[in-house]
Chain A
Amino acid sequence: MSMRNHVADRPPGMRDVFPQRAGDRRRLENQLLEFFEAHGYDMVSSGSFEYVDTLLRGRSIHDSEDWIQIFDTTGRAVALRPDMTPSIARMAAPLLSAGRESVLWCYAEKVYHRTTDPASLSWLSGKAAESTQVGVECIGRGGREADVDILALCRRATDSLGLTEWQMVVSHAMFAPAFLVAVGTPESAVEALLGCLTKGDYVGFRRIAAEAGVSHDVLSWLQAQNPFSSQEMQVPDEIDWTASPAGERAVAAWDDLVSLAQELEERGLADGITFDLTLHRDLTYYTGIVFEVFAPGVGAPIALGGRYDDLLSYFGVSAPAVGFTFEIERALAAKDEGVWPTKPNQQSAREVP
């Protein structure tokens, strides 16, 4: 048998999905869409390409390293959308400008990233070249109430998939950057430290912090903060939070989280939710809560989202916004988990002597 079949070649990262699986995936998309529509979100759709400058609004140029970019026939740079949020912001901005108070939209679309990983690996973890996202964007509603509503919607949607052992991790985009500065970390090291948090490289974090002359264990300090159990930040050293703008920003973000935690408890939504202020996302446009949902057996979040109150201003209208999306291929894998026997056969795990 020849393994090389040029007739059947496909570009790197593109995945074929055969009967059964393709149906499972579409049914999962539909199930979530129907769920979101039943909760007041209207479905929208947009073309796969956006202008690069549309995607870059409110974002750092580094984000674009992962995008698949080409030039259109007029010579302007376009990219396959890496996520739906910029397209939704672009579509919603004129409606909000015209006086509409809020826009609640949902979508089911493919998104694209440059990747060198073999595709089979990256669907479950890391960045797939092409993957399916079903999500919601709630534009025009700010504040704690809207945050709690969106977390509630996300957890109910996760439950609706029949997933049981999920964990939702909540953080605040403004907290870690301000906290690090306020406790005396040199500003020059902050970006590298945040990069370590995004990657989950805690060894690297400690090394960079030590090299920057930070004497205390800032990582443990960040890990120790829990708005569910304490209304005050738990820091061993005496920190004057009012002494610097960064300190004030950290306190503001902290107060947001404390009131969020209280509201979650009052509404009976706290179960399955943990705060982890070391969770930091690489998207620069987040301004408030950020969250990720994990399920056993899938090494990357099955759902993720956050608040981005400044993004709409880059599209000509000022409006708060919050949203999240499910990564469908990962959610599908999480649903499979448990279908397979979890206890491996002792015999088969050993080499035959």
Chain B
Amino acid sequence: MLTIALAKGRTADASIALWRDAGIPAPADLDEGRALMFELKSTAWGDLRYLLVKPVDVPTYVQFGVADVGVVGKDVLMEQEREVYELLDLGTAQCKLCVAGHPSEQDSPARKVATKYPRLTDAYFRSQGRAVEIVPLSGSIELAPVIGLTDRIFDLVQTGTTLKAHGLVVFDEVAEVSARLIANKSSYRTKRALVDRLTKVLGERLARSEGELV
């Protein structure tokens, strides 16, 4: 049996579509009910178990080996630096890690930054030669500059709609991120054939869609 941890939300939705396109059995509807676990049987792949977990927890499930593989955004992997294998760039759930703030702040130096990514934020501003105060938040980051908690945010931006709605603009694009297929180090060794096959099938599907775009 192979257990797959999916980052709930956009990453899972986009990845499941890719999964299905590649011919790997996947749950029909992730939003159905409140289930957090889906078990599927198939002759081609054996038993597959899908776990729906909070994105930041995916590396934990995989690192501890309760999930053999996981699908999670590169942003989470960059922030946490866990001991897992990063097998494949799935190219889904593409976003940018950005520094953003109110337009009036654009030309003044960064002082306080709200973020879900304290380590990356620190690394980024140090690379800019700036010492900033990092204000760790776990959600609704956009609120921080609006009510004057901070003058910047360091966050994931997909379409920019949320930023716009709060009157914020992107100051700097720091990194492009997308969903990654990761594997537990032990599962990668003890279930190698299955993990390799999964990587191969998904990789071939991605190569096909690249071909279609050209």
Task: Choose the segment among B16-24, B32-40, B150-158, B167-175 that binds chain A (4+ C-beta atoms closer than 8 Å).
Answer: B32-40
In the complex, A297 has a CB within 8 A of chain B: yes
Provided the pairs A349-B37, A353-B34 are in contact, do residues A200 and B185 lie with their beta carbons within 8 angstroms? yes
In the complex, what's the smallest C-beta–C-beta distance from A338 to chain B, in angstroms? 12
The one of B34, B37, B65 that contacts A299, using a Cβ cutoff of 8 Å = B65
* Beta-carbon contact of A294 and B86 below 8 Å: no
* Beta-carbon contact of A300 and B83 below 8 Å: yes
> A167–B187 Cα gap in the complex (Å)?
10
How many residues of chain A get a CB closer than 8 Å to chain B's CBs?
Answer: 30
Provided the pairs A200-B85, A294-B185, A299-B184 are in contact, do residues A124 and B37 lie with their beta carbons within 8 angstroms? no
Residues in B56-93 with C-beta less than 8 Å from chain A: 60, 62-65, 82-89
> A297–B86 Cα gap in the complex (Å)?
18
How many residues of chain B get a CB closer than 8 Å to chain A's CBs?
Answer: 27
* Beta-carbon contact of A294 and B87 below 8 Å: no
Question: A165 contacts which chain B residues (CB < 8 A)?
Answer: 190
Residues in B154-204 with C-beta less than 8 Å from chain A: 180, 184-190, 192
* Beta-carbon contact of B34 and A351 below 8 Å: yes
In the complex, what's the smallest C-beta–C-beta distance from B212 to chain A, in angstroms? 20
In the complex, A298 has a CB within 8 A of chain B: yes
> A169–B34 Cα gap in the complex (Å)?
40
Provided the pairs A124-B64, A125-B83, A200-B85 are in contact, do residues A299 and B192 lie with their beta carbons within 8 angstroms? no
* Beta-carbon contact of A200 and B36 below 8 Å: no
In the complex, what's the smallest C-beta–C-beta distance from B206 to chain A, in angstroms? 12
Question: B37 contacts which chain A residues (CB < 8 A)?
Answer: 344, 346, 349-350
In the complex, A48 has a CB within 8 A of chain B: no
Question: B187 contacts which chain A residues (CB < 8 A)?
Answer: 296
Question: B89 contacts which chain A residues (CB < 8 A)?
Answer: 203, 206
- Among A169, A200, A206, A301, the most chain B Cβ lie within 10 Å of the Cβ of A200
Q: Which residues of A contact B (CB under 8 A)?
A: 121, 124-126, 165-167, 169, 199-204, 206, 274, 294-301, 344, 346, 349-351, 353
Q: Which residues of B contact A (CB under 8 A)?
A: 33-37, 60, 62-65, 82-89, 180, 184-190, 192
A-B pairs, top 9 by smallest CB distance, nearest first, are A200-B85, A294-B189, A167-B189, A294-B186, A349-B37, A351-B34, A125-B83, A201-B86, A126-B83
- A sample of 13 inter-chain contacts (CB < 8 A) reads A124-B63, A202-B87, A202-B88, A203-B180, A274-B189, A294-B189, A296-B187, A296-B190, A299-B64, A299-B185, A300-B83, A344-B37, A346-B37
Q: A126-B63, A294-B186, A298-B65 are in contact. List 13 more A-B contacts (CB 8 A).
A: A125-B64, A125-B185, A200-B85, A202-B86, A202-B87, A203-B87, A296-B187, A297-B65, A299-B62, A299-B64, A300-B186, A344-B37, A350-B34
